[in-house]
Amino acid sequence: MALIFFLPIMVMIAAVLLLREGGPVFFRHKRVGYAGKQFSCLKFRTMVLDADKRLEELLARDPVARAEWEVNQKLTNDPRISCLGHFLRKTSLDELPQFFNVLKGDMSVVGPRPIVLAEVARYRENIFEYKSVRPGITGLWQVNGRNDTTYEERVAMDTEYARNRSFIGDLRIVFQTVEVVLTGRGAS
């Protein structure tokens, strides 16, 4: 139902991305899912076409940015994000294509945030809880601070979700997600 509801918005975003920025509309990235199986997580592209090159150059010349990247796996002032990409991320519209991942069975609507293989080691013994559920489009991290949290807090929230998940808890997170998206709280 969410796909049907969001499809007109997704078509409009795809058209604007194609006309304004060119290149691919979607970004596929390998993420770790249920039972440790990797899958291609789908998002609208929010970065410039030469994003990997820009990151490599920035991390090579800027030790402060490199340190931030090593700790958080993200940058506060990321030069790779396009103007339209900032808007899509702030409003979480870049995540709408993940409903296709839900339809495919790789993700659920609510769950831990999807992580890349390089992050598995940072979960230490908590990786077993993470792998016991499907990653979600939304979850505890998304409604409890998003980018205002430390990496360790994110891991703790993902672990807490996996250990204590419930239908009522999932409904609460979905309703909190609407509030968070509308207020932009914690978005970068």
Query: 102: how many CB neighbours lie within 10 A of its CB?
Result: 17
Q: How far apart are CA 29 and CA 106, in angstroms?
A: 13
Within a 10 A sphere around the Cβ of 5, how many other Cβ atoms? 9
User: What are 63-90's pLDDT values in tens digits?
Assistant: 998 998 888 778 888 888 998 999 998 8
- Per-residue pLDDT, 185: 67
Q: How is residue 175 written in tokens?
A: 């309703």
Question: What secondary structure, in 3-state letters, does the chain show?
Answer: CHHHHHHHHHHHHHHHHHHHHCCCCEEEEEEECHHHCEEEEEEECCECCCHHHHHHHHHHHCHHHHHHHHHHCCCCCCCCECHHHHHHHHCCHHHCCHHHHHHHCCCEEECCCCECHHHHHHHHHHHHHHCCCCCEEECHHHHCCHHHCCHHHHHHHHHHHHHHCCHHHHHHHHHHHHHHHHHCCCCC
Q: Quick one: tokens of 1?
A: 């139902």
Q: How far apart are CA 106 and CA 20, in angstroms?
A: 30
pLDDT at site 27: 92
Reported as a pLDDT band with limits 50, 70 and 90, residue 137 is: very high
What token pair was written down for 5? 């509801």
User: pTM value?
Assistant: 0.85
Residue 187: pLDDT over 70: no
For 138-165, what is each residue's pLDDT tens digit?
999 888 877 778 888 999 999 999 999 9
* Residue range 43-54, pLDDT digits in tens: 999 998 888 898
Give pLDDT tens digits for 12-51.
999 999 998 888 999 999 999 999 999 999 999 999 888 8
